[in-house]
Chains A and B, each alone.
Chain A
Amino acid sequence: SSTQGRLDSFFKVL
């Protein structure tokens, strides 16, 4: 099974 990734782990908050 797979879990949905979140964008927070890929993109930095400026």
Chain B
Amino acid sequence: MFEARLVNSATFKKILDAIKDLLDQASFDCSESGIQLQAMDNSHVSLVSLNLKSDGFDKYRCDRSLTMGMNLASLSKVFRCSGSDDTVTIKAQDDADTVTFMFESKKQEKISDYEMKLMNLDQEHLGIPETEFSCIIKMPSAEFARIVRDLSQFGESIVISCTKEGVKFSTQGDIGTGNVKLAQTNNFDKEEESVIIDMQEPVSLTFACQYLNLFTKATPLSNQVTLSMCDNVPLVVEYQIPDLGHLCYYLAPKIEE
């Protein structure tokens, strides 16, 4: 028996919004420690890694580990039926081929449930090597989304260059070029507004705008985003989900020919 209850179903909806444009389907691996999802997009350029810890749920029970393969467009349809203040309870029997989502309104005057068919997905798990990153940039997630959106108008790629002085986002296209430089802030009072750079070595890598834009769909989950970079290694874009876990995206850099 698997049962997970989240008072704030809107958080799960936000997670879904953050992954459904990258992945058509994905397996949710449920165990005693929580729910995990790891999946690459169809072109094997990016990877989504979601980790929700069991004690972040308001109720969590998982007697036997189970893998639930789901079509994310179908799952989105289910969550479209939930109210923003609803509580969600996710339930599945051991070895079941369906999962049930129950939504309860705040005052419990409305209770709805949706049963969705599970899929058998051929999932391959990837081993992600531990990396000593050259640069780790922590910045407001809304600022990152804004920069990626702005620069995407001009080119297909964004070069992210990080030095001790700050981080520079650059693009070039047919109509010209665009650059955004962010300096490290000293505003320690407001951590969520700070730009904090932890640099071992300067690094400059090129990434596809299309994917960076899809990652910024996670912006509503967290005030801050962390970008971890190292030469010839995929970029890691991490959003912490308060009290529940984290959502990480990995993106292979573009390689100069």
Q: Which residue of B lies closest to A1 (CB)?
A: B257
CB distance from B212 to the nearest CB of A (A): 13
The interface bits of chain A over 1-14 (1 if a CB of B lies within 8 angstroms of the residue's CB, else 0) are 11111111111111
B175 contacts the other chain (CB 8 A): no
In the complex, are the beta carbons of B128 and A5 less than 8 A apart?
A: no
Contact A5 to B127, CB < 8 A, known contacts A10-B233, A10-B234, A11-B47: no
Of A1, A2, A7, A12, which contacts B44 at CB under 8 A? A7
Chain A nearest Cβ from B180, distance in angstroms: 20
A-side binding surface: helix, strand, loop or mixed?
Answer: mixed
Please give, as numbers and ranges, the residues of chain B lying within 8 Å of A13 by CB-CB distance.
124-127
Interface residue B246 (Cβ < 8 Å from any Cβ of A):
no
Alpha-carbon distance A12/B257, docked complex (angstroms)? 24
Q: Does B46 contact A (CB under 8 A)?
A: yes
Contact A7:B250 (CB < 8 A) given known A12-B126, A12-B127, A14-B126: yes
Give Cα A14 to B206, complex, Å.
Answer: 28
Tell me if B70 counts as interface (CB < 8 A to partner A): no
The answer to whether B252 and A2 have CB atoms under 8 Å apart is no
Given A7-B45, A7-B234, A8-B44: A2 and B127 interface contact (C-beta under 8 Å):
no
- Which residues of B from 125 to 169 have beta carbons under 8 Å from A? 125-129, 157
Contact B157 A2 (CB under 8 A): yes
- B69 contacts partner chain A, Cβ-Cβ < 8 Å: no
Residues in B with CB closer than 8 Å to A3 are 254-255, 257
A11–B206 CA distance with the chains assembled, in angstroms? 19
Taken residue by residue from 227 to 257, chain B's Cβ proximity to chain A (1 for < 8 Å, 0 otherwise) reads as 0000001100000000000000010111111
Q: Give the residue of A5, A10, A14 whose beta carbon is less than 8 angstroms from that of B124.
A: A14
Residues of A within 8 A of B208 (CB): 4
Distance between Cα atoms of A2 and B127 in the complex (Å): 26
In the complex, the answer to whether A5 meets B252 with C-beta atoms within 8 Å is: yes
Is B40 in the interface zone, CB < 8 Å from A?
A: yes
Known A-B contacts A2-B206, A5-B252; the reply to A11 vs B257 at CB < 8 A is no
Chain A interface residues toward B at CB < 8 A: 1-14
Q: Which 6 pairs between the two chains have the least Cβ-Cβ distance?
A: A5-B252, A2-B254, A11-B126, A12-B127, A14-B125, A6-B44
A-B CB contact pairs (8 Å), 5 listed: A2-B255, A2-B256, A2-B257, A6-B252, A14-B126
